[in-house]
Chain A
């Protein structure tokens, strides 16, 4: 804690200048004893004020005196802090998580009761749709983009290939109401949940009363999906010193760091930015990606950089699932990049020289990013 350091600085003998800490104000003042006491006193009062403020934000005790079992969202060691705290106004609890899980696996969220979130976000495929370029929605319709894998969502501020979703809590509104996905209305979903015998009790356990509303449903879903953290692959274990790469994996990792890490930044293996990676446009879909959201021609053909974690399971690849193997995806970067598109990412302007050996070593490395601690974890299973 910084404030403790400051107190230590102040108390330390010899009238030590505060220059280190006060440099932001551009002043360096030698402090006398009196001023040190004043500052110390002020820090104490500040601390008290902050504590009072914090207690105001603490969750209200439920009417029946019970509280859910709150869970701390753990950031893996060495990882960056999420850009925003998605649980700041949605305090993570075991009951909220369990309610969210039940909702995630409940097909009644769809119009005909046949499609749950998990239909397109399958646990064994790292919550992507296994082996499908486009997922199947209501009445056997196809979606128009490849279902993204779901993990490490807490580090994102924008969701979907085009970033059209600006908060994790409101994401489910899109698939629930999309005519080609779950094709249901929010109103009907709530009617179905309210008429169920189990849900009112689960909502009470998570939120204090049996009231079922859209905000609670969406917050519970966010507690489940936001809790899926992939940080336990072989790669992670190697970094923690618990495992070691094979010779081929090691070479693949070196190649990755030199050629791929510009966009797929460790440890998340994405920078969550939107880029045009030079794919030939699909003339049927005519999908311009990020530009559909911003209306800015500079965003034409830009899509979200996907994480490479669990990439061996989340095939097929790209926003339209055009490549069915890692080899095919690497071939795109080797010789398939369309260089005539004006919004092509500058990092891809020069073709990559990739030898066959490097290609297979890279694949060996990418396979170390598979994390069975999410794909086979009963905690995330139905």
Chain B
């Protein structure tokens, strides 16, 4: 009898919890964090089309497109408190307005940022989407459905493709072809992000294309100038680019 009562109480608490969980953060105890992405090659700001770069294997290349999905952004503090926002962002070097976005976060001290590099598997199978996930953004495979999580296009004299094309469309969300990457970026030692009500703090993140070619997998343009479907090559490139992010600065 008592057991039943206890179970029911727990059940109602759980029910109440799911009801309140769906409510948006509306308390005044929140601040804003602006997250900015700075795309670079070896630390130098990326210049689409005009910049000439060399990868670790001495292969020259230019970049004409550089885009990637950021989702499920959360901030975490020393106490383990996490604020997750499910929103989806497509960072596109050719559109300056996509290089930064702002989140509403509960006030507090945070020492790291987490996000998913890519689009979670559920949203790869959920039909027609809008906003950052609109197929108009040219990041959705129409013949083998799924999102391109990251895209790097350009040219290289080492490419054996037509017009020396370089074309990395990295995707795959199922089973062993999954290229989704959970990224955690710790702020520099001793640095905290102190979110205060009504204030805007900033995080600057650098994304370095130079990481795409090496560690743990050697990707030589002469051998692989194109990747346009899920599989082993896509996974290798994703393993490399999962290390492209670093915290450049944190401003309270």
* Shortest CB distance A81–B (Å): 19
**Considering the complex, which residues of chain A in the window 69-85 have a beta carbon less than 8 Å from any beta carbon of chain B?**
none
Question: A38, B4: Cβ atoms under 8 Å?
Answer: yes
B224-238 CB mask vs A (1 if < 8 Å, else 0) is: 000001110000000
> Does A67 make an interface contact (CB < 8 A)?
no
Chain A residue numbers with a CB within 8 Å of B124 are 166
Chain B residue numbers with a CB within 8 Å of A295 are 177, 229-231
Question: A219, B128: Cβ atoms under 8 Å?
Answer: yes
**Considering the complex, which residues of chain B in the window 1-29 have a beta carbon less than 8 Å from any beta carbon of chain A?**
1, 4-5, 8, 11-12, 15, 19, 22
B216-252 CB mask vs A (1 if < 8 Å, else 0) is: 0000000000000111000000000000000000000
Question: B142, A177: Cβ atoms under 8 Å?
Answer: yes
Question: A29, B4: Cβ atoms under 8 Å?
Answer: yes
Question: B142, A167: Cβ atoms under 8 Å?
Answer: no
Partner of B127, one of A42, A53, A168, A174: A168
Complex CA distance for A67 and B167, rounded to whole angstroms:
46
Complex CA distance for A49 and B13, rounded to whole angstroms:
12
Partner of A45, one of B12, B127, B140: B12
Question: A167, B4: Cβ atoms under 8 Å?
Answer: no
> Does A328 make an interface contact (CB < 8 A)?
no
Once A215-B129, A295-B231 are accepted as A-B contacts, the answer to whether A170 and B1 lie under 8 Å apart by CB is no
* Shortest CB distance A34–B (Å): 7
**Considering the complex, which residues of chain A in the window 365-379 have a beta carbon less than 8 Å from any beta carbon of chain B?**
none
Complex CA distance for A173 and B15, rounded to whole angstroms:
40
Once A170-B145, A173-B140 are accepted as A-B contacts, the answer to whether A186 and B15 lie under 8 Å apart by CB is no
Complex CA distance for A178 and B144, rounded to whole angstroms:
12
Most-contacted residue by chain A among B15, B128, B129 (CB, 10 A): B128
Question: B136, A186: Cβ atoms under 8 Å?
Answer: yes
Chain B residue numbers with a CB within 8 Å of A29 are 4
Once A34-B1, A170-B142 are accepted as A-B contacts, the answer to whether A49 and B19 lie under 8 Å apart by CB is yes
Complex CA distance for A295 and B235, rounded to whole angstroms:
13
Interface residue range, chain A: 35 or more
- Chain A, residue nearest B172 (CB): A295
Complex CA distance for A212 and B208, rounded to whole angstroms:
37
Question: B128, A170: Cβ atoms under 8 Å?
Answer: yes
A158-193 CB mask vs B (1 if < 8 Å, else 0) is: 000000111111100110011000000011001000
> Does A293 make an interface contact (CB < 8 A)?
yes
> Does A338 make an interface contact (CB < 8 A)?
no
Complex CA distance for A174 and B143, rounded to whole angstroms:
6
Most-contacted residue by chain B among A49, A170, A178 (CB, 10 A): A170
- Chain B, residue nearest A221 (CB): B128
Question: B230, A215: Cβ atoms under 8 Å?
Answer: no
Once A170-B140, A187-B136 are accepted as A-B contacts, the answer to whether A49 and B15 lie under 8 Å apart by CB is yes
**Considering the complex, which residues of chain B in the window 133-169 have a beta carbon less than 8 Å from any beta carbon of chain A?**
134-136, 140, 142-146
Chain A residue numbers with a CB within 8 Å of B185 are none
Question: A214, B128: Cβ atoms under 8 Å?
Answer: yes
Chain A residue numbers with a CB within 8 Å of B125 are 166-167
> Does A218 make an interface contact (CB < 8 A)?
yes
**Considering the complex, which residues of chain A in the window 37-72 have a beta carbon less than 8 Å from any beta carbon of chain B?**
38-39, 42, 45-46, 49, 52-53, 56
Question: B8, A39: Cβ atoms under 8 Å?
Answer: yes
* Shortest CB distance A228–B (Å): 18
Interface residues of A (CB under 8 A from B): 29, 32, 34-35, 38-39, 42, 45-46, 49, 52-53, 56, 89-90, 164-170, 173-174, 177-178, 186-187, 190, 213-215, 218-219, 222, 292-293, 295
Question: B143, A42: Cβ atoms under 8 Å?
Answer: no
Could you list 10 A-B pairs, sorted by A, with CB under 8 Å?
A29-B4, A35-B1, A46-B15, A52-B19, A164-B144, A167-B126, A167-B145, A169-B127, A173-B135, A214-B128
Most-contacted residue by chain A among B134, B145, B230 (CB, 10 A): B145
Question: A190, B136: Cβ atoms under 8 Å?
Answer: yes
- Chain A, residue nearest B4 (CB): A35
Chain A residue numbers with a CB within 8 Å of B44 are none
> Does B50 make an interface contact (CB < 8 A)?
no
Complex CA distance for A46 and B8, rounded to whole angstroms:
11
Partner of B134, one of A39, A46, A214: A214
- Chain A, residue nearest B11 (CB): A42
Chain B residue numbers with a CB within 8 Å of A178 are 142-143
- Chain A, residue nearest B8 (CB): A42
Chain A residue numbers with a CB within 8 Å of B144 are 164, 292-293
Chain B residue numbers with a CB within 8 Å of A46 are 15
Complex CA distance for A158 and B145, rounded to whole angstroms:
10
The 8 closest A-B pairs by CB, nearest first: A169-B127, A218-B128, A169-B128, A167-B127, A173-B142, A166-B145, A215-B128, A164-B144
Chain B residue numbers with a CB within 8 Å of A42 are 8, 11-12
Chain A residue numbers with a CB within 8 Å of B134 are 213-215
* Shortest CB distance B223–A (Å): 19
* Shortest CB distance B146–A (Å): 8
Complex CA distance for A89 and B8, rounded to whole angstroms:
32
Chain B residue numbers with a CB within 8 Å of A52 are 19
* Shortest CB distance A12–B (Å): 18
Complex CA distance for A293 and B146, rounded to whole angstroms:
11
Chain B residue numbers with a CB within 8 Å of A222 are 127-128
Complex CA distance for A169 and B130, rounded to whole angstroms:
12
